Amino acid sequence: MKLGCLGVNLPILLLCRTIILRFFRIKFQQIKTGIERLVGRLIYLSHTRPDIAYAVSVVSQFMHSPSEIHMEAVMRILQYLKSAPGKGLMFSKHGHLEIEGFTDADWAGNRTDRRSTSAEYRSMVHGVCEMLWIRKLLKELGFVAKDAMKLYCDNQAAIDIANNPVQHDRTKHVEIDRHFINEKLESNVISVPHVKSEEQLADILTKAVSSHAFSDSLDKLGIGDIYAPT
């Protein structure tokens, strides 16, 4: 870790991905010394530190030809980690066995484009698969979920496709996924309620957000700091 750096409160800035993509074709001096190994370790760490998952996913896209601007982005992640080395997922007892999830996808920041809706819908399918796995695991451990699992989504068009059993031309490309979702909805295994964009907890996993939104999402996701004063 970069021991001499100052801590920061965000692992990635709002425009960082845009800047990296914009300057990707500019011939910066390539830096190969250790950056691939460092990013590999950050990918491993992101399994227990989902707060850096998006930032790590951005920098890992350019490891075949890293340059100074990519190294700066990696250094910022290290600065963020230094600011709170004790952060991580905290599993607490909440007095219920309800399974809830949040699904989100970012298609160039456009929520109305058809491709954005398709991406959101496919993200919903992956979310359902993950929740079914968790439900099965809990059942094997002796905990049976009685209520339908809630998968929150902030894309109303994707929710409408999931709840509409009638095929449209715009849903042909996701027909198999649509039947899968519809089957789980009809059997009351899942429900897909709408959530406001500002309350979408999955945002920090798919895009850079403001400092306030980032901090608020961490609290709701159960990411705490073992060194924080109580």
pTM value is 0.78
CA dist., res. 44 & res. 52, Å (int) = 11
The model's pLDDT over 65-123, given as tens digits with 9 standing for 90+, comes to 777 788 888 889 999 998 888 888 888 877 778 899 999 886 555 444 556 678 888 88
Q: What's the whole-number average pLDDT of the chain? A: 80
C-alpha dihedral (127, 157, 186, 95), degrees to nearest 10? 50
Q: What pLDDT shows up at residue 221?
A: 86
Count of other CB atoms within 10 angstroms of residue 155: 24
Query: Percent of the chain beyond pLDDT 70?
Result: 78
Q: What pLDDT shows up at residue 151?
A: 95
How far is the CA of 94 from the CAs of 81, 99, 217, in angstroms?
28, 11, 18
Q: Where are the domains of the chain?
A: 1-88, 100-203
Enumerate residues 6+ apart whose C-beta is below 8 A from 52. 11, 42, 45, 46, 77, 80, 81
The pLDDT confidence band at residue 5, using thresholds 50, 70 and 90, is low
Enumerate residues 6+ apart whose C-beta is below 8 A from 224. 87, 88, 90
